[in-house]
Amino acid sequence: MNTMEIAKKLVELCKQGKNLEALSTLFADDVVSVEAVEMPGAQQEVKGLAAVKGKGEWWVANHEIHSAAVTGPWPHGDRFVVGFQYDVTNKPSGMRMKLDEVGLYSVHNGKIVREEFFYDAGM
């Protein structure tokens, strides 16, 4: 698949709530995932598909999702941007919050090799 085909498939799967399926099918084994900031108890950058899947599984297990919206994709050469808006409750704290973030994805050899997230972490 080319970059735009991958981008559209990622958006389609995320709109269906199949984010973990997207990881399994669209991401390279050596993918790198970078958060905007380092959160307590987590690394800002994780490497490898297993680590990125673990991060995604942790997020799903620790958040009740009330609503989710995915916008885009917006392509730029071998990269693309996707917007994510979530209304979630953090299960451990019980805090409900609205999240608005953008993911920048880089593609090489038909797979996503890097994802970077941009958001206001209130810091």
**Tell me: the pLDDT tens digits for 99-116?**
999 999 999 999 999 999
Give the domain ranges of the chain: 3-118
| Per-residue buried b or exposed e for 47-86, using 16+ beta carbons within 10 Å of the residue's own CB | eebeebbeeeeeeeeebeeeeeebebbebeeebbbbbbeb
What whole-number distance in Å separates Cα of residue 84 and Cα of residue 91? Answer: 20
pLDDT at residue 93, rounded to an integer: 92
Residue 107: CB atoms within 10 A of its CB come to: 24
Give 40 or 99, the one with higher predicted confidence.
99
Cβ contacts of 35 within 8 Å, gap of 6 or more:
42, 44, 45, 117
3-state SS class at 90: strand
Statement: the pTM of the whole predicted model exceeds 0.75: yes
- Which CATH number describes the domain made up of 3-118? 3.10.450.50
Report residue 122's pLDDT band, with 50, 70 and 90 as the boundaries. Answer: low
123 pLDDT higher than 70 = no
* DSSP H/E element including 5: helix 3-15
Region 89-103: what's the mean pLDDT?
A: 93
Q: Is residue 37 very low, low, confident or very high in pLDDT (cuts 50, 70, 90)?
A: confident
Tokens at residue 52, please?
């990125």
Q: Please, are residues 1 and 85 in contact by the beta-carbon 8 Å criterion?
A: no
pLDDT in the model for residue 85: 95
Higher pLDDT, 48 or 20: 48
Predicted confidence at residue 42, as pLDDT, reads: 76
Average pLDDT over residues 40-64: 88
